[in-house]
A = this chain, B = another copy of it.
Amino acid sequence: MLQKQNDPDLVRDLNYVWHPCTQMKDYETVPPLLIERAEGIYLYDKEGRRYMDVISSWWVNLLGHNHPRLNAAIKAQLEKMAHVLFAGVTHGPAVRLAESLVRLSPPGLTKVFFSDNGSTSVEVAVKLSLQYWAQTGQGRRRKFVYLKDAYHGETLGALSLCGIDLFREKFQDVLMDNLEVEGPDCYRCPYGLKRESCNAECFEAMEKAVERNSADIAGAIVEPLVQGAAGMKMYSPVYLRKLEDLCRSYGIHLILDEVAVAFGRTGSLFVCGELGLNPTFLCLSKGITSGYLPLAATLVEEKIYRAFYDEYSTRKMFLHSHSYTANPLACACANETLSLLLENDFLAGLGPKVRALGEQGRKLEELPRCGEFRQTGMIGAAELVEDKGTKKPFAFERRVGHQIYQEGLRRGVFMRPLGNVIYFIPPLTISADEIETMIGAARDSIRAVLQK
């Protein structure tokens, strides 16, 4: 192995820590990396070995680790106040962040409700939607439409919107009764079309589901353009335009979960802004602090806010809170993140990197088991298959992705896979040269596993 397995911290880790989203027995063969520090796009272990953070520490880091300006923003806020409750109290960092988010997002979104993570940003949208309908005489509307392979978080409310069996199967019997709809599946398009040129013909499943259940539906939720946990499945913006029209024509809420894709990942600040979409709710988290601190925001249309605004005695207020709502340290970091993203044409400057990712990434398709390399802005993904002709997936048990991950570690890249999908969602500060190195290491790692 790469690290000293008898390092006392590693021993203590295995003794005391239960890691998220992991079969703990896996650590018997691949111990966790004991990371001591991080700098730019690299993580450093205790012995000074470095690993490129190809997946931005679960898609959160936008501007690199140990960024001098983000560090300075946190330190400056720390001198004033780390935290104060957010009921009956407000503070500059939250006010400034709320104003920026409202100004930078689609015009219909006017209010910001803060929480702590992607799951809670979705729970807040779901609860606001339910309470809105209850308070406007349509309490029958209690179901949310979500897509097959969707992922919107793992608290039980958010998990009720999850279309991935592996995440929900153990909890199926206690989840909310929502509506799962067959969504886009562009690599294996049943219509034989291409996402670049189709008219989102697959939208008919959504159309029928909403039509059939319209009186019971509160809202529809999607991850715009990229279904992350599904394996970075990418689909046409036409689908989103059709969904917006459908929601409008049936008067149901549109919840856009941009937790993974916002803040420059796709090349623009918000996908909804770029595409001119007008959601009822916009869920944000992850990159909002550039991977420094937990923070989330749910942006809301004014008509929702107004349905809760009344005398106290009407009991119409939204009772939802987390102790650290709008944590000032996290808000200060988010404000500086936004400044950095908006300065010096930062987002426009991503162009050459996006092209480099595409050029390098497409070379992976030359590999005999790479079925598709797909890309949306600074997100790239290579789907590995047993047979490129039939697109037959590798069996779950074979754990092809996990083997390639281990090969990657030997080559200094940290690219934790999603099943058999190897994906690239590096800090936006990565250079074109580093993109070439990253994809090269991925190619070598894939070869090492699949051509032996």
Contacts and interface: CB of A to CB of B under 8 A. Distances in A.
A155 B120 contact: yes
A134 B155 CA distance: 18
Interface stretch (A55-63, A342-350, A375-383, A441-449): A55-63
A99 B10 CA distance: 12
Nearest to A57: B85
Interface of A: 9-10, 12-13, 15-26, 30, 32-38, 43, 53, 55, 57-61, 65-66, 70-71, 74-75, 78-92, 94-96, 98-99, 101-102, 110-114, 116-120, 123, 126-127, 130-131, 134-135, 139, 142, 154-158, 160, 166-167, 169-171, 173-174, 176-177, 285-286, 291-294, 300, 305, 308-313, 315-327, 329-330, 396-397, 399, 402, 405, 414, 416
Contacts of A323: 57-60, 117-118, 285-286, 294
Contact of A157 (B53, B110, B156): B156
A24 B305 contact: yes
Contacts of A91: 34-36
Nearest to A72: B78
Given A16-B112, A17-B98, A95-B16, A35 B84 contact: yes
A422 to B, nearest CB: 14
Contacts of A81: 35-38, 43, 65-66
A82 B66 contact: yes
B293 A118 contact: no
Contacts of A315: 166, 169
Given A59-B323, A60-B83, A92-B9, A16 B293 contact: no
Given A117-B120, A166-B315, 16 more contacts: A9-B92, A13-B98, A16-B111, A19-B90, A23-B316, A25-B309, A33-B89, A87-B416, A116-B117, A116-B294, A127-B156, A130-B171, A134-B170, A139-B173, A169-B315, A293-B330
Nearest to A67: B82
Contacts of A80: 36-38, 66
A61 B142 CA distance: 38
6 contacts: A17-B114, A116-B294, A130-B174, A135-B170, A142-B173, A293-B330
Contacts of A102: 15-16
Contacts of A110: 15-16
A316 B176 CA distance: 23
Which A-B residue pairs are the 10 nearest by beta carbons? A156-B157, A20-B321, A23-B317, A294-B324, A16-B98, A21-B321, A57-B85, A155-B155, A82-B292, A32-B90
B22 A88 contact: yes
A192 B176 CA distance: 41
Nearest to A290: B82
Contact of A123 (B21, B86, B156, B160): B156
Nearest to A46: B92
Given A155-B156, A166-B315, A294-B324, A87 B37 contact: no
